[in-house]
Amino acid sequence: MSNWDTVAMPTAKDFLFKGGDVRIAITVAGQVMHGMVSSHALAMASPVWNKFVFPPFARLPAEDEDGFKEVKSRTQKAKDKDKRAVEELDFKEDDVDTLLILFRIVHLQFGDIPVSLTLDALHQVAVLCDMYDCAGLVQPWLGQWLSDGERAASNTSGDKWVFITWALGNKLVFEKSTSRIVREISVNNEGQAFGLTGELLSEKMPSNVLDNILEIRQKSIQKLLDIPYHELGRYRNGSIVCARRSGNCNALQYGESLIMQLEKLQLYPVKEGNQVHISVDSLATKIKSISTPYLPANLYGSHTYCGKHNVDDEVGKVVNNISCPTLDVHRQKLEKRR
């Protein structure tokens, strides 16, 4: 076994598997090359490969040079029925490194399977497993791969990680990833979602997950906005917030504290949740930065306890209680992928 970083570029020889009876076309370093795989091994590993190897449709009779269809004997027809495997399979568009991993598993070459993968390599594995419906092939190695990949994913956008865990059928990590992405994403004026690095979220997101993520994000944004806006409303409706019932204290906190700071944070005039494009985490950081100025203490006492002092706690309650966007239908599909 090896680490992905030390694996050499595949060659055509790597794709000449023992017992191979079907030729495959692959692309290595921009050049089309050929290998041989076991038709029955591929057919057993993937329902998609099974249809590729043994097409479910009947072959048309061949025509001779005069245009007459070939008439075969009953014996020849029986032989053809037993030899339905195609002569060549086209894998030229697939990532060759990932194909080699999957084909080595299929042909029981377990000693050549890497024990760790980079995040990009794991994503490629997920792409092909999703395309060919063969996530079950990689389950024995998935625990270690995901463990390594999760550490790498902590510094990247979560949408790639969401697809990886969805395609490979890891429910716990998938739920954790979708919850994380609710906090990370930002949106533009058209409502399109973007990850940490500014890329448009993948269209490979499972059905309804992205919509649910966006809905939960907006609700969380609104809850965060309600924290300073609720305090703003207390001053506006004439409530005496000052512990010493001082109008000057109220004016100081209302004018210099809340309004000026909210303007600086681009949160004033008052906004609705759908007008805020930054991420939940970014908004939470902004709101926690709001500070409260105080009137100096005098003979009548201190103003230290005037105004809002539990902003961090309220922000934490919102952020730590964000709903998981994973639905029951997704959990059921994830169970079936294993």
pLDDT tens for residues 215-252? 999 999 999 999 999 888 776 765 555 655 555 555 55
Over residues 102-119, the mean pLDDT reads 94
* Phi, psi dihedrals of residue 177, rounded to the nearest 5°: -70, -45
**Angle between the N-to-C axes of helices 171-184 and 139-153, in degrees from 0 to 180, rounded to the nearest 10:** 20
With 50 as the cut, is the pLDDT of residue 79 above it?
no
Identify the CA nearest to 248 among candidates 298, 295, 189, 208: 295
State the pLDDT at residue 76: 47
Whether 241 is covered by a domain: the verdict is yes
Q: Which domain holds residue 253?
A: 217-320
65-71's contacts with Cβ under 8 Å and 24+ in sequence apart are none
Over residues 108-129, the mean pLDDT reads 93
Q: Which helix (H) or strand (E) holds 36?
A: strand 31-37
Mean pLDDT of the chain: 82
- Reported as half-sphere exposure (CB side, CA atoms, 13 A), residue 51 has a value of 6
Whether 283 is covered by a domain: the verdict is yes
Whether 10 is covered by a domain: the verdict is no
Mean pLDDT check: name the lowest of 108-122, 152-166, 171-185.
152-166
Whether 196 is covered by a domain: the verdict is no
Contact call for residues 286 and 311 (beta carbons, < 8 A): no
Whether 244 is covered by a domain: the verdict is yes
**Cis bond leading into 269, ω under 30°?**
yes
* Those residues with Cβ within 8 angstroms of residue 302's Cβ, 6 or more apart along the chain or in another chain: 294
Whether 66 is covered by a domain: the verdict is no
pTM summary value: 0.73
Number of structural domains (the chain) is 1
Over residues 322-327, the mean pLDDT reads 91
**What is the spatial distance between Cα 96 and Cα 99, in angstroms, rounded to a whole number?**
5
Identify the CA nearest to 149 among candidates 196, 115, 117: 117
Name the residue type at position 141: W
**Cis bond leading into 61, ω under 30°?**
no
pLDDT band at residue 197 using 50, 70 and 90 as cut-offs: confident
Name the residue type at position 44: M
* Phi, psi dihedrals of residue 260, rounded to the nearest 5°: -65, -40
Tokens of 284: 């939470």
State the pLDDT at residue 148: 67
In three-state secondary structure terms, 321 is: coil
Name the residue type at position 114: P
Contact call for residues 89 and 48 (beta carbons, < 8 A): no
In three-state secondary structure terms, 28 is: strand
With 70 as the cut, is the pLDDT of residue 128 above it?
yes
Whether 156 is covered by a domain: the verdict is no
Contact call for residues 33 and 9 (beta carbons, < 8 A): no
Whether 275 is covered by a domain: the verdict is yes
* Alpha-carbon torsion (322, 327, 331, 336), positive or negative: negative
